[in-house]
Structure 1
Amino acid sequence: MSECASPHHARKDTPVQRFFADEVSIAADLFDLAAPSLQQPLVARLVPTHAALPTLDLHQDSGNVVVGRGKNIAEDYRVDTSDKLSARHCELIVDPVTLRVELRDLSTNGTFLNGRRLAKEERVALQNGDRVELTRPVDSGDDEQALGVVVNDMAANDQVKFIFQRLKQETTQARMSEELTCSLCRSIFHRPCSVLPCMHVFCAGCISVWVAQGQQHTCPECHESITGIHPTHRLQIRAENFLLSDLARRRTSEELAQLDAADKIPLSGMSIGKRSRSDDDDDDSEHQLHHDCGSDTARAVRHAALTFGHAVPLAGPQCSECRTPSPIDGFQCPIGGPHLRCSACACGFAARPLCGRPQRCHVCNFAFCHLYRAGGCERSDVMPFMPFKEHKPLSVLPPQTFNGNTIEQDILSTYLAARRILLQDAWSAALTKLEAGEWVPDMVLINGAIKADSPVCQQCVATVFARLLFDYRRHIAPHELSESVTKRPNCWYGKECRMQFYNHQHAQNFNHVCYQEKRKE
């Protein structure tokens, strides 16, 4: 078998990108198991409309959070910019199962949702884009105009206003029950495990029995051949949270004991391959564990930290340079030397940041082996990694252009269409400016400012191009744009403005392809 065989390709109805995301999810499961996060995923946040106010983050395990100006309020949720707030002003409730977020008023002066004052102790579900005000709303007519031209000093007016932003989609109890039900035993997952490559999930005990009884190891749902089985740690957390909210769905201790006794899946997962006769003679219920880099499961299961670009020593499976010197410079990995895991082909390779050959994307810092290995990466056609200037020009406007402001995106698209300028032509013009050092994408990167020859992965190309289009649009001569565009005054907050995303009229009335006025360009 080759040192790094091509990964199992996804089925026709599954994009390659989804398969890669599944491998990343598996590795992240192991990483969380080894070093669990202090907090569960971020579900939503209350984004302030004034810089003096804090951003209120809500995690899946936040539970009931009280917001106010009292000294006993958690620092992350203490708002003391106005004396009109109560010590315990309102409560935010996060359902860990459905991810529903509710607001409850506890105050004296009132909590306002989209301009309506909530009744005392009233609970209301929050929707994406809702306005949450902890002080009485001001007259919106004059205030919105002032926001775009001058600094709207909310602190001076004692205004405390947030916009609710949902980051994870809300679901229902019934849908969660369906998603967390094992198709073999029809109960909520107990130690859920995903089978590779199809990623269907079953209880560890259930799939262990299924595999032990079957002559052909195929998935119980789709009947695709199983190459490996791996515990799904994150799904286990969701199942536990669900059972806390629905005690009637819990299994009896006898049922759990039976499942645990049948469970043959180790914490690190297992790979299933063809068994030799000696294997059959020894034990029909045990399955061969692969440790070759070419195995999908070996790549997906081992060293979860490699997925995130951390350099760690490889234990067991070795890269080609562990066995033989590199044909490029003669380097051979020392015993226990640090390795990275390629985000494209998922194989390990030596971590050598000073070798002169790029190993990481300049933007996301993920590891890629294409520019390091002799012969490149086997999946470079699917997930290219090369200098930015060598990437194929984009033919579609990146959705992150102008930070997602669709008004400004439409203006640029109209300009290009009216002058029959292809987006590829805009790419070429921007690349020329980047190579000359005249345009530098406004990005905060740990690797320093990006250049035309900086190594960039396919996923980050759109991000870099979107930032270059900001400069492209700013350098369009005013007489080439319609009067309805050029007569708009610059928003004081410029591209950093939050109102442009939830106030359509404000986004139309003010130009946001500019910098914040207090910033030196």
Structure 2
Amino acid sequence: MEPAESSRSKEDSDVWAKLVPTDSTYPPIEIRSREAVICSEITSSSIEKHPWCEIKWNPDKDSAMIRNLSSNVIIIDGKVVGEETVNIISGSEITSGPDREDESQIGSHVVLDGSWKEGERCLSGVNNEAILQTFSSLKRSDEEIALLNTYASIKSNIVVGMHTSRKRPHSLSNDDSNEIALPCPQCGNELGGFRCNRTTTHLHCQGCGGMMPFRSDSVVPQKCLGCDRAFCGAYWAAQGVDAREFNMICHHETFKPVSERTISRIPELVHQNNQFERDITERCIQRTGKTLQAVISDWIIKFDNKELDRTNLQLNHVEMITPMTHLCNDCYNKLVDHLLYWFRVSLPSHLLPSDASNRDNCWYGHLCRTQQHNEEHARKRNHVCRPTRGNINM
């Protein structure tokens, strides 16, 4: 699949906007003409370039207009767009619907800047101090600048060539013979008593890459409290949608409450990916006569009773996390890492293997970076301890 290309007139030489593909392997697409048609080779078996969308500059507004030119829907900021023309702003996320032949997707972010220079749009990041000093009203507030900075960070996991097929055809319900494949199961069909419309905002699942409608009335969370990312497993399970019928739906096991999770082996990220410390912790658990699941359950109770210092827990909203909190797999593993750290530092010395109890503590403790690439150091020193040098407040 080729990166999208824009058509432009010769008289328009200044870049007023650019499309930033969500796949970083493709370069940004600069838009110079006031009306640009974005094209792409959307089938792997053909060199033909197909029109995707038309973007038109609004010279008197801090925005642009986009019109869908493809035979499929496009998705703008989570909303399904057919043939109508809609407004976009800097930071808008544009995703093509899956192509009928290879069901690939194109994903891009729009980068516009609010600064003006003689009626022309400047690239994001270009700053004209002289104009801002002369016309102070054009200067953005700190809040607006912070917001624009967030637009430069692409957080979506949409990639070129994303597969959005389902095992049974999914299309808009109409009398036409042409079917349009949609990445959200509730777009076009009513499932679980709900059906999306053209104003429904959607969330991109960070697990499977599919989409689900944002529901303020959802009985289950749609975002992980530990990382604030969207995951669809709990939502589709609550809607009664069987994940086996769709390729772009997560299984409910990927996003569920801490208390409902089971664990049979220590995750690799535990103890800063130090395999020697993980081995020692595993042997310590065996010496207690308990299973890993039983140990984690015991320490979750201590965690819930506020008996543990949560300072080093690398999750968002740490004080809000309880056994009933929905966490994604990555965040749950980080919680397990935190619990096993406290298990180790609280363990009586007689339960430590002899080869572990005779080691000196590393000065940098669990924050040591050398342990991640130096096996001798990782084995020789104990790293499940507080740092005594460096940033000891971490």
Give the TM-score normalised by structure 2: 0.50
Quote how far apart the aligned CAs of 1:466 are. Answer: 2.2
1:507 lines up with 2:378 in the alignment = yes
Contact between 1:345 and 1:377, CA under 8 Å: does it hold in 2?
no
Contact between 2:365 and 2:383, CA under 8 Å: does it hold in 1?
yes
Quote how far apart the aligned CAs of 1:309 are. Answer: 7.5
Quote how far apart the aligned CAs of 1:512 are. Answer: 0.8
Contact between 2:42 and 2:49, CA under 8 Å: does it hold in 1?
no
1:445 is aligned to 315
2:156 is aligned to 308
1:263 lines up with 2:48 in the alignment = yes
CA distance in 1, matches of 2:221, 2:227: 13
Contact between 2:283 and 2:353, CA under 8 Å: does it hold in 1?
no
1:52 is aligned to none
1:476 is aligned to 347
CA distance in 2, matches of 1:39, 1:309: 11
Match for 1:341 among 204, 220, 229?
204
> For 1:276-295, what aligned pairs fall within 5 Å after superposition?
none
| Gap runs ≥5 in structure 2 | 6-17, 27-38, 54-69, 75-79, 81-96, 110-153, 159-179, 244-248
CA distance in 1, matches of 2:353, 2:183: 61
Distance 1:194 1:471, change over 3 A: farther
**How well do the aligned residues superpose, as a CA RMSD in angstroms?**
4.7
User: Deviation per CA, 1:167-202, whole angstroms, max 9, x where unpaired?
Assistant: xxxxxxxxxxxxxxxxxxxxxxxx99787xxxxxxx
Identity of aligned residues (%): 24
Quote how far apart the aligned CAs of 1:457 are. Answer: 2.1
Quote how far apart the aligned CAs of 1:351 are. Answer: 2.8
> For 1:13-32, what aligned pairs fall within 5 Å after superposition?
none
CA distance in 1, matches of 2:278, 2:255: 27
Contact between 1:488 and 1:510, CA under 8 Å: does it hold in 2?
yes
> For 1:28-427, what aligned pairs fall within 5 Å after superposition?
34-36=19-21, 204=44, 207-208=45-46, 262-265=47-50, 297=99, 301=105, 308=156, 335-344=198-207, 346-352=209-215, 357-373=220-236, 374-375=239-240, 378=243, 379-381=249-251, 384-391=254-261, 393-427=262-296
1:434 is aligned to 303
CA distance in 2, matches of 1:360, 1:389: 17
CA distance in 1, matches of 2:280, 2:315: 29
2:10 is aligned to none
Distance 1:499 1:324, change over 3 A: closer
Q: How many residues align?
A: 254
CA distance in 1, matches of 2:257, 2:325: 5
User: Deviation per CA, 1:116-173, whole angstroms, max 9, x where unpaired?
Assistant: xxxxxxxxxxxxxxxxxxxxxxxxxxxxxxxxxxxxxxxxxxxxxxxxxxxxxxxxxx
Match for 2:201: what amino acid? P
1:519 is aligned to 392
Distance 1:383 1:494, change over 3 A: same
Quote how far apart the aligned CAs of 1:376 are. Answer: 5.2
Secondary structure of 1:367's counterpart equals coil
2:149 is aligned to none
Match for 2:156: what amino acid? F
CA distance in 2, matches of 1:356, 1:432: 25
1:228 is aligned to none
Q: Which one scores higher on RCO, CA 8 angstroms, separation ≥ 6?
A: 1
Question: Greater helix share, 1 or 2?
Answer: 1
Quote how far apart the aligned CAs of 1:487 are. Answer: 3.4
Give the TM-score normalised by structure 1: 0.39
CA distance in 2, matches of 1:420, 1:297: 56
Distance 1:326 1:426, change over 3 A: same
Quote how far apart the aligned CAs of 1:430 are. Answer: 2.7
Match for 2:221: what amino acid? P
**Structure 1 range deviating more: 318-327 or 446-455:** 318-327
Contact between 2:191 and 2:241, CA under 8 Å: does it hold in 1?
no
Match for 1:402: what amino acid? H
Distance 1:385 1:366, change over 3 A: same
2:327 is aligned to 456
Distance 1:265 1:304, change over 3 A: same
Contact between 1:340 and 1:348, CA under 8 Å: does it hold in 2?
yes
CA distance in 2, matches of 1:38, 1:341: 15
CA distance in 2, matches of 1:380, 1:40: 26
Quote how far apart the aligned CAs of 1:403 are. Answer: 0.5
Distance 1:35 1:354, change over 3 A: farther
Match for 1:263: what amino acid? E
Quote how far apart the aligned CAs of 1:382 are. Answer: 7.0
1:282 is aligned to none
Distance 1:395 1:464, change over 3 A: same
Quote how far apart the aligned CAs of 1:399 are. Answer: 0.8
Distance 1:267 1:473, change over 3 A: farther
Contact between 2:223 and 2:230, CA under 8 Å: does it hold in 1?
yes
Question: Which protein shows a greater Rg?
Answer: 1
Quote how far apart the aligned CAs of 1:359 are. Answer: 1.0
Quote how far apart the aligned CAs of 1:326 are. Answer: 9.1
Quote how far apart the aligned CAs of 1:385 are. Answer: 1.4
CA distance in 2, matches of 1:304, 1:386: 31
Quote how far apart the aligned CAs of 1:495 are. Answer: 0.9
CA distance in 2, matches of 1:475, 1:508: 20
CA distance in 1, matches of 2:105, 2:25: 22
CA distance in 2, matches of 1:426, 1:453: 18
Quote how far apart the aligned CAs of 1:367 are. Answer: 1.5
Secondary structure of 2:212's counterpart equals strand
Quote how far apart the aligned CAs of 1:515 are. Answer: 2.1
Match for 1:465 among 311, 336, 342?
336
CA distance in 1, matches of 2:98, 2:21: 24
Quote how far apart the aligned CAs of 1:496 are. Answer: 1.0
Contact between 2:41 and 2:48, CA under 8 Å: does it hold in 1?
no
